[in-house]
């Protein structure tokens, strides 16, 4: 989820528990071989054995339309030791689709096959390869064609966002349409889209037939969601328990993000948290006009973040 669920938020969310695996934001592949610093900037978990600080494996995601260039970059990325590689055929962003990336390729299952097959050949045999797709681009008449092309090319798992590109992120998600794919491919299928609560998860499983789920915005809004789905009897994550993780996140933002965007990143997360925590609603309304990171830190966490505190909290994220 470009611009939202980056490595800093992955770090915070995987500390809560319940997450089996993460997928990075996409790494855009055009016509060049990316230097290692691009891979490690987007997926710094590559410097930690391909895992978050909490030990959760991270697959690095590639997006592009040139089979040769995708394969060459996949080989270089694989040498850095990710927990696997994922291919993005689901991004609905206009700027991405305009340059033949993401969901627009769902009208070209033949090209999808070429991309997946080329990447699979370039990767070590034991490294997992998965692919993320939507039900289609403007409609869903080629859903099964695309899924079968990915499997024929060598994808070992499919993640299906249960909407087309034209549907965007508008509810509902059509989880029942994943069931046809699941019945016609020989690999694992993961259901995704519009899962905000444990009840949504139960409905997605029932309608799709999938046991495994991918959480996106729902996990950002409800950091304890994966744990609640896995262990319904587990105590709910309280606001007081979440605050230290939010502070670690914001300290990392202050280290890694341009100053003019730092406050916006914390307020972005607060905006999502408003769906689940009344305390986040209060904090968001109180702080939405604060744009200086140190002031925001002081007002949100009750301190400005001394060098000693920053060292202690960032050590938690190391």
To 10 degrees, the CA torsion angle through 104, 105, 108, 112?
Answer: -170
Q: Please state, in angstroms and rounded to a whole number, the distance separating the CA atoms of residues 132 and 158.
A: 6
Are the beta carbons of 239 and 302 closer than 8 angstroms? Answer: no
Residues taking part in catalysis: 91
**Strand duo 22-28 + 58-63: pairing:** parallel
Give the count of beta carbons closer than 10 Å to the beta carbon of residue 3: 9
CA angle 98, 119, 23 (to 5 degrees): 70
Give the end-to-end CA distance of the chain in Å, rounded to a whole number: 23
The burial of 304, by beta-carbon neighbours within 10 Å (0-12 exposed, 13-18 middle, 19 or more buried), is given as middle
User: Residue with structure tokens 């789905």?
Assistant: 229
Structure tokens at 217: 């915005």
The burial of 289, by beta-carbon neighbours within 10 Å (0-12 exposed, 13-18 middle, 19 or more buried), is given as exposed
DSSP secondary structure code for residue 48 in this structure:
G
For 1-101, list the strands marked E by DSSP: 22-28, 58-63, 85-89
**Closest of 90, 167, 174, 180 to residue 130, by C-alpha:** 90
Structure tokens at 279: 């305390």
Strand (E) or helix (H) holding 14: helix 7-16
């Amino acid at each position: 989820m470009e611009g939202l669920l980056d490595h800093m938020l992955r770090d915070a969310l995987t500390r809560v528990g319940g997450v089996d695996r993460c997928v990075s934001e996409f790494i855009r592949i055009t016509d060049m071989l990316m230097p290692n610093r691009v891979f490690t900037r987007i997926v710094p978990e590559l410097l930690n054995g391909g895992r978050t600080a909490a030990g959760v494996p991270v697959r690095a995601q590639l997006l592009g339309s040139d089979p040769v260039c995708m394969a060459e970059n996949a080989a270089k990325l694989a040498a850095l030791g990710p927990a696997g590689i994922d291919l993005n055929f689901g991004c609905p962003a206009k700027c991405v689709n305009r340059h033949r990336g993401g969901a627009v390729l769902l009208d070209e299952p033949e090209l999808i096959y070429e991309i997946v097959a080329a990447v699979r050949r370039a990767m070590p045999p034991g490294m997992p390869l998965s692919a993320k797709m939507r039900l289609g681009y403007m409609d869903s008449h080629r859903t099964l064609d695309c899924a079968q092309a990915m499997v024929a090319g060598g994808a070992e798992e499919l993640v299906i966002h249960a909407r087309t590109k034209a549907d965007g992120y508008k509810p509902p998600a059509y989880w029942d349409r994943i069931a046809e794919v699941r019945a016609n491919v020989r690999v694992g299928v993961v259901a995704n889209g519009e899962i905000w609560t444990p009840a949504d998860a139960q409905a997605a499983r029932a309608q799709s037939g999938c046991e495994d789920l991918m959480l996106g915005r729902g996990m950002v809004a409800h950091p304890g969601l994966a744990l609640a789905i896995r262990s319904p009897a587990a105590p709910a994550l309280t606001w007081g328990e979440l605050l230290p993780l939010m502070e670690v996140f914001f300290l990392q933002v202050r280290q890694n993000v341009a100053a003019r965007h730092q406050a916006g990143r914390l307020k972005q997360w607060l905006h999502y948290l408003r769906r689940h925590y009344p305390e986040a609603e209060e904090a968001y309304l109180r702080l939405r006009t604060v744009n200086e990171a140190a002031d925001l830190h002081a007002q949100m966490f009750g301190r400005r973040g001394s060098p000693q505190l920053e060292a202690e909290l960032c050590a938690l994220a190391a």
